Chains A and B, each alone.
Chain A
Amino acid sequence: MYPRWLWPAFALPGVVWLIILFLLPFYAVVGVAFGGIDPILQTPIPAWNPLQWNIGWVSDTLSNLAPGGNYWVVVVRTLEYVVISCAGCILIGYPVAYYIARHASRTKNMLLILLILPFWISYLMRMLAWVNLLAPDGFVNRFLMWAHVIQTPYGFLDGQSSTVMFALVYGYIPYFILPLYASLDRIDRSYLEAARDLGASPSRAFWHVTLPLSKTGLLGGLVLIALPMFGEYYTPNMVSSAPTTSMFGNQIDLYFHGGPQPTIGAALTIILSAFLVVLMGYYMLSIHRASKELAQ
């Protein structure tokens, strides 16, 4: 027999990794949010002891997030961009994942390789490529003019919300498809055959069998893309740089990047994290319910 501690010990490297690279840095952000500012250098003085926390920055920031507050517009815009971009990912990604899982037989491996191909190139490079493609003299405009869709170059990069959302969909969709594919691939085909044998049309079988059974993968993919999208600042900077398309992450970037109030940047970060924990909570609850249903 193996000693009792052996199998839990396998989790140790991961736990240490999480503590060093996630929990400690996150607690540092919390310490900054509830800390003070060096009176000379205006650098943050983290408050490590919760008993010494100064809650002023966080409460001020919270009140500015309410309707009419300084950040309200950017909060609403960020929600709008993330919701629409996630919807775009579902519309494009679900059929792709479904096709690969259910209908691609010989081409399956090739398609999976194509799916992970974008990961070979850094996000920055892929966005830069789009900046060139969407430029007034870029391929997209030249093609549209050649096809007589437009007469003069369209200003894709002139501060358009649609361009930012397109870039978000483009940047994150591989992260959505892969977990969804894994979930769809695991669905036992006999359930579908049973549905069809009982008289369900293909569409009814999809709505009543495939979709519910792929819910965990769908939610997993959405969580995977929505969480980083909420903190985005780089993509809007790259493809727009207009204040009218700035996102919540741009505000965090502004306050962290310099100036006398890094504490506000930290406060915004932990408020965003708290909001994302709620989303994660819903995801965890859904997973829990789904596994219970499966067990029954």
Chain B
Amino acid sequence: MARHPKERPPGWGAWSRREFLCRSGGAALGLSSASAILAACSNSTNAAGGSSGAGSEPVGPGGLPLARPDRRVKLPIYADNKPIESGLQPETGGTFNVFNYPDYIYGSLLKEFGKKYNVNVQVTPFDDISSGIARLASGAVTPDVTEMTPDNLDKVVAGKLIQPLNLDYIPNLQKNVWPELVSPFYDVGSQYGVPYTVYKTGLAWRTDQVKEDIPSMPQPFDIFWESQAYAGKVALLSEVRETIAMALLRKGHLDVNTEDPKLVNAAVADLKQLYSICNIKVGDVQYQTIPEDKAWLNQAWSGDMLSATFYYLPNKATGKLLRFWSPPKGKGPIQNDMWSVCKGTKKPVLAHLFLNFMLDNGHAYSNFINFNGYQPPLNEISPTELVSKGLIPETLTNCVMTADELGPTSLQEMTLTIQGDQLWQNGYSDFLAG
């Protein structure tokens, strides 16, 4: 990947004599050497992607300031990566490539978009956003638009993998979207993306199996640590950030972006207690396993129980057994996904129109109800309306988010410094090792 000289990590380029000896010595010793000898000339934290800026404020990859709900960040526009001009005609013909999670967009909508603009719309799936970004960076894929997450936004902006938007082409952003996400804290002015879905993290369970009144517990997350009776049927999300954040929140630590090793390690130690309590499992298929009675209690996203209700109920009666709880505003994480236009697109105007298309009330609603199950942040969608239409049972009303759950006092798992990211990943690895 092309890199600006200023962005080169320390040690890039010329070597000191010591570095040369260390590296060539290491190469000669190879694997057969003892780790202690190797450690003498090692550098395992050389990913110098920035941990603190010129001042004392921590910065993320690319040296961009770390956005938080109470710390709004306006991302830079680079001279060699500017938005397209207004008033251009959309490109037609050929293939329009959407880079996305598998099964995360309604195929009928893609067909409709393709028909409208005379293009063949194709979805290229990725397993997870990190591997998606790696593929974008390597040039292995050249999509027109990509799914993105706010905690990865600064990486792809600094890496110039996505291009800034010209919002003249996306009037639905102002017209239909929750005000808080028209100009979100992580991208003031929506320069690089528009919101796609919103969700919050909490607990999901079946009332026929789990007898405790979880919402009435002083700390509902404690249910995991009191779930001996449900051993083998209890699971956490298979997500580094979500899992450790839950253990932090349980102990009253509200900073879900902390980089304090003591806090993170203590949270991991708490999670490890769950081995003996309930032989805890990890996975992200709770939308299916809970309605199918294969799991009884799960850490879950709000969209999971909506998906469960829309598509995975073995019978209608099961829908009434499903429950979801999430912490009140400012006490539990909320997240959103986004759409961005790829830097290398050959159809930039059409890519903008795609973003606008997905923010159309009718299309976003159709995507939500007919396929995705994850809610778009539209003014038009309200929990009571979904209940009154019979789409979800009243007991799952709290799965539907409202605009007032966002704001400076909300919690969102956001970009960490590279050292912080490593700390969290190593903690999760420790938990996963059993």
Contact = CB atoms under 8 A, between A and B. Distances in A.
Contacts of B156: 41
Contact of A60 (B42, B62, B280, B430): B42
A159 B275 CA distance: 10
Interface in B259-292: 275, 279-283
- Between B62, B232, B294, B429, the greatest number of chain A beta carbons within 10 A of the residue's beta carbon is seen for B429
Nearest to B284: A241
Given A136-B293, A251-B433, A257-B130, A41 B43 contact: no
Given A62-B38, A158-B279, A40 B62 contact: yes
Given A41-B155, A54-B23, A56-B42, 16 more contacts: A34-B27, A42-B47, A42-B61, A42-B155, A43-B137, A53-B27, A55-B26, A55-B29, A55-B41, A56-B46, A242-B434, A243-B275, A243-B433, A251-B429, A259-B240, A271-B31
Contact of A43 (B23, B26, B27, B134): B134
B229 to A, nearest CB: 13
A260 interface: yes
Interface string B130-162: 110110011000000000000000011011010
B207 to A, nearest CB: 18
Interface of A: 34, 36-43, 50-60, 62-63, 66, 70-71, 73-74, 77, 135-137, 155, 157-159, 237, 240-246, 250-251, 254-255, 257-263, 270-271, 274
A246 B238 CA distance: 13
Contacts of A34: 26-27
Contacts of A257: 127-128, 130-131
Contact of A59 (B39, B280, B433): B39
A163 B369 CA distance: 38
A261 B430 CA distance: 14
Contacts of A251: 429, 432-433
Contacts of A243: 275, 280-282, 431-434
Contacts of B44: 54, 56-57, 59-60, 263
Interface string B402-434: 000000000000000010011001101111111
B128 A40 contact: no
A158 B49 CA distance: 41
25 contacts: A34-B27, A36-B46, A37-B49, A38-B49, A39-B48, A41-B161, A42-B61, A42-B418, A51-B27, A54-B43, A56-B44, A59-B38, A59-B42, A63-B36, A70-B426, A136-B294, A241-B281, A243-B280, A244-B434, A254-B429, A257-B127, A260-B47, A260-B421, A260-B425, A271-B31
Indicate the size class of the contact surface on chain B: 35 or more
Contact of A255 (B1, B9, B429): B429
A133 to B, nearest CB: 14
A42 B49 contact: yes
Interface string B1-26: 10100011100000000001011101
A285 B105 CA distance: 55
Contacts of B43: 54, 56
Contacts of B425: 254-255, 259-261
Given A70-B429, A259-B130, A259-B240, A40 B49 contact: yes
B35 interface: yes
B177 interface: no
B46 A241 contact: no
A73 B433 contact: yes
A136 B48 CA distance: 50
B347 interface: no
Given A37-B46, A42-B49, A62-B35, A259 B421 contact: yes
Contacts of A60: 35, 39, 42, 44
Interface string B167-204: 00000000000000000000000000000000000000
Contacts of A135: 294
B433 A246 contact: yes
A46 B159 CA distance: 18
B256 to A, nearest CB: 17
Given A136-B294, A260-B47, A270 B39 contact: no
Contacts of A59: 35, 38-39, 42, 44
B45 interface: yes
A39 B31 contact: no
Nearest to B129: A258
Contacts of A274: 31
- Between A36, A43, A62, A73, the greatest number of chain B beta carbons within 10 A of the residue's beta carbon is seen for A43
Nearest to B433: A74
A250 B3 CA distance: 33
A137 B279 CA distance: 21
Contact of A41 (B38, B134, B275, B294): B134
Nearest to B41: A55
A42 B415 CA distance: 12
A116 B187 CA distance: 57
Contacts of A158: 231-233, 279, 281
Nearest to B154: A40
Contacts of B283: 237, 241
A126 B244 CA distance: 34
- Between B8, B42, B293, B434, the greatest number of chain A beta carbons within 10 A of the residue's beta carbon is seen for B434
B344 interface: no
Contacts of A57: 42, 44
B422 A260 contact: yes
A41 B433 contact: no
A157 B234 CA distance: 12
Nearest to A73: B433
A43 B36 CA distance: 27
B433 A258 contact: no
B50 interface: yes
Nearest to B132: A258
A195 to B, nearest CB: 44
B422 A51 contact: no
A270 B31 contact: yes
Contacts of B349: none
A143 B130 CA distance: 44
